[in-house]
């Protein structure tokens, strides 16, 4: 039985998660089929080691629209009956994959970070209760299962492959949610993606009035100040400073995290940093799982001492 990967692309570029999905599909075993849905699917290169077949699903729309992707995936699932459909746990996939699973009565799991095959059945591992416990989940037997995989959980497949290509014609449909344009979030004064040393602050700072204290500390330390999502959501700092999946992906030499518990989306944006140091009052905070050095301490106490000696 085949494994169907749905390629993700944006503005004419294949997104990295697609190559990670290919790795996961290879691990699961069976012919690996990659579907590229778009107005010019041939311009998007997904031919990587381990891919057996690429299906070009030609549609009117160049960019993602949820009804179009749903229509295309339904046609492919009906035609191929794959063991599993793999997609990224991304904003696009969240917009249509659950609808396909609901309509066809298929198994569905999102934010999956480990997969296994037991007999003919897929078993997926995902987190529950705010990532404090993990759970193995299983699905309706003998039906394709729709899986949205956590970005960065699998290594990308990057070597060129030898896949065959199939063209798939799709009848046009009425798209009820139409792409109009892309706009960039406003560019900030600094580029946190190129900084060697990031001082990163999170929800633990408690209130907006604390921000200047950390701006001063960053300056003393020679660090660039970055933040986790709650600080941007609260409007305390611009989104150009945000580290994480919805913000920037950083790869600093030193990443010093104060009061950041470590949501999955945040960790995905900073775990490639060379040295990660985390200070948090909660000894169970997820950030200690990726940090190289950790301290269970009040971030204000440590920040004040750092300001004295920096």
Radius of gyration of the chain (CA): 22
- Residues 79-118 touching another protein, rule: CB under 8 A, are 89-92, 94-99, 101-103, 105, 107-111
Cβ closest to another protein, residue 81 vs residue 293? 293
State both tokens at 43. Answer: 């311009």
Q: Per this entry, what is the length of the chain?
A: 310
Chain centroid to Cα 258, Å, comes to 23
Distance between CA atoms of 106 and 31, rounded to whole angstroms?
20
How near is the Cβ of 290 to another protein at its closest, in Å?
A: 8
How near is the Cβ of 297 to another protein at its closest, in Å?
A: 5
Cβ closest to another protein, residue 66 vs residue 157? 66
Residue 289 DSSP label? G
Interacting residue with another protein among 119, 129, 159, 171 (CB under 8 A): 129
CB 250 within 8 A of CB 193: yes
- Lay out the site mask for another protein across 145-174 (x = CB under 8 A, - = otherwise): ---x--x-----------------------
CB 122 within 8 A of CB 87: no
Interacting residue with another protein among 4, 124, 163, 250 (CB under 8 A): 124
CB 8 within 8 A of CB 34: no
Task: Please give the helix or strand (H or E) that residue 6 lies within, else none.
Answer: strand 3-6
Q: Is 31 helix (H, G, I), strand (E, B) or coil?
A: coil
State both tokens at 210. Answer: 């604390």
- Lay out the site mask for another protein across 180-209 (x = CB under 8 A, - = otherwise): xxxxxx----------xx------------
Cβ closest to another protein, residue 45 vs residue 304? 304
Bridge-based pairing of strands 197-201 and 275-280 is unpaired
Of 41-49, 79-87, 204-212, 301-309: span binding another protein (CB under 8 A): 301-309
Q: Is 284 helix (H, G, I), strand (E, B) or coil?
A: coil
How near is the Cβ of 147 to another protein at its closest, in Å?
A: 10
Give the interface size with another protein as a residue count (CB under 8 A).
102
Interacting residue with another protein among 155, 158, 160, 177 (CB under 8 A): 177
CB 97 within 8 A of CB 148: yes
Cα torsion 185, 186, 190, 193 to 10°: value is 20
- Lay out the site mask for another protein across 20-49 (x = CB under 8 A, - = otherwise): ------------------------------
Chain centroid to Cα 291, Å, comes to 19
How near is the Cβ of 288 to another protein at its closest, in Å?
A: 5
Query: Under the criterion CB under 8 A, does residue 66 sit at the interface with another protein?
Result: yes
Interacting residue with another protein among 127, 173, 190, 272 (CB under 8 A): 127
How near is the Cβ of 296 to another protein at its closest, in Å?
A: 7
Chain centroid to Cα 176, Å, comes to 26
State both tokens at 270. Answer: 């900073």
Query: Under the criterion CB under 8 A, does residue 259 sit at the interface with another protein?
Result: no
How near is the Cβ of 292 to another protein at its closest, in Å?
A: 6
**Tokens 């000696």 belong to residue:** 309
Interacting residue with another protein among 9, 83, 229, 266 (CB under 8 A): 229
How near is the Cβ of 151 to another protein at its closest, in Å?
A: 8
């Amino acid at each position: 039985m085949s494994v169907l990967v749905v390629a993700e692309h944006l503005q004419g570029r294949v997104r990295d998660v697609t190559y990670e999905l290919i790795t996961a599909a290879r691990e699961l075993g069976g012919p690996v089929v990659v579907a590229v849905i778009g107005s010019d699917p041939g311009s998007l290169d997904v031919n990587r080691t381990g891919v057996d077949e690429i299906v070009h699903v030609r549609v009117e729309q160049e960019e993602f629209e949820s009804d179009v992707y749903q229509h295309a995936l339904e046609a492919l699932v009906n035609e191929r009956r794959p063991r599993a459909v793999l997609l990224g746990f991304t904003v696009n996939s969240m917009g249509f994959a659950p609808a396909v699973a609901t309509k066809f009565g298929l198994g569905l799991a999102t934010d999956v970070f480990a997969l296994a095959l037991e007999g003919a059945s897929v078993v997926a591992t995902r987190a529950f209760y705010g990532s404090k416990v993990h759970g193995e989940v299983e699905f309706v037997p003998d039906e394709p299962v729709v899986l949205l995989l956590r970005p960065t959980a699998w290594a990308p497949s990057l070597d060129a492959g030898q896949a065959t290509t199939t063209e798939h014609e799709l009848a046009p449909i009425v798209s009820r949610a139409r792409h109009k344009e892309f706009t960039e979030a406003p560019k900030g004064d600094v580029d946190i993606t190129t900084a060697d040393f990031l001082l990163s602050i999170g929800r633990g700072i408690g209130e907006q009035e604390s921000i200047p204290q950390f701006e001063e500390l960053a300056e003393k330390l020679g660090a660039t100040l970055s933040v986790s999502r709650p600080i941007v959501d609260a409007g305390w700092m611009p989104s150009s400073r945000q580290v994480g999946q919805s913000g920037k992906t950083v790869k600093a030499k030193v990443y010093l995290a104060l009061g950041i518990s470590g949501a999955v989306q945040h960790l995905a944006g900073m775990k490639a940093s060379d040295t990660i140091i985390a200070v948090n009052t909660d000894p169970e905070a997820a950030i200690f799982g990726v940090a190289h050095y950790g301290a269970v301490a009040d971030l204000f106490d440590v920040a004040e001492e750092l300001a004295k000696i920096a």
